[in-house]
């Protein structure tokens, strides 16, 4: 599953810089997570960095994007290989 940021977000700016996939961005009112880029840090870390660092615990799993660890890892491989091609 990708993650999502809920309305409880206080825009503290700590999650965006720790995302290894650049999936977190400032939305119209709060930070948001692009589900097509979120791998829950699979391939990078053991746990999602944004969840670890969030001071108010407002980053749950996004039920609209059900993915297994294997699918998240495949997404990681696709994202990282696309990054290598674009550089």
C-alpha span between 40 and 51 (Å, rounded) = 9
Q: Is pLDDT above 70 for 31?
A: yes
Band of residue 83 on the pLDDT scale cut at 50, 70, 90: low
Band of residue 82 on the pLDDT scale cut at 50, 70, 90: low
C-alpha span between 55 and 12 (Å, rounded) = 9
**Interval 32-77: pLDDT, tens:** 999 999 999 999 999 999 999 999 999 999 999 999 999 999 999 9
pTM over 0.85: yes
Kindly state the helix (H) or strand (E) to which residue 84 belongs, with its residue range: helix 69-86
Kindly state the helix (H) or strand (E) to which residue 52 belongs, with its residue range: helix 49-53
Q: How many helices (H) and strands (E) does the chain have?
A: 2, 2
List of domains in the chain = 16-86 (3.30.70.20)
């Amino acid at each position: 599953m990708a993650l999502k940021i809920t309305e409880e977000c206080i825009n503290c700016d700590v999650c965006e810089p720790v995302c290894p996939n650049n999936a977190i961005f400032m939305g119209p009112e709060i930070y948001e997570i692009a589900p097509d880029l979120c791998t829950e840090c699979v391939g990078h870390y053991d746990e999602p960095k944004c969840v670890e660092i969030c001071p108010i615990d407002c980053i749950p799993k996004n039920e609209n994007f059900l993915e297994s660890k294997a699918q998240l890892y495949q997404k990681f491989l696709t994202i990282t290989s696309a990054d290598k091609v674009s550089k």
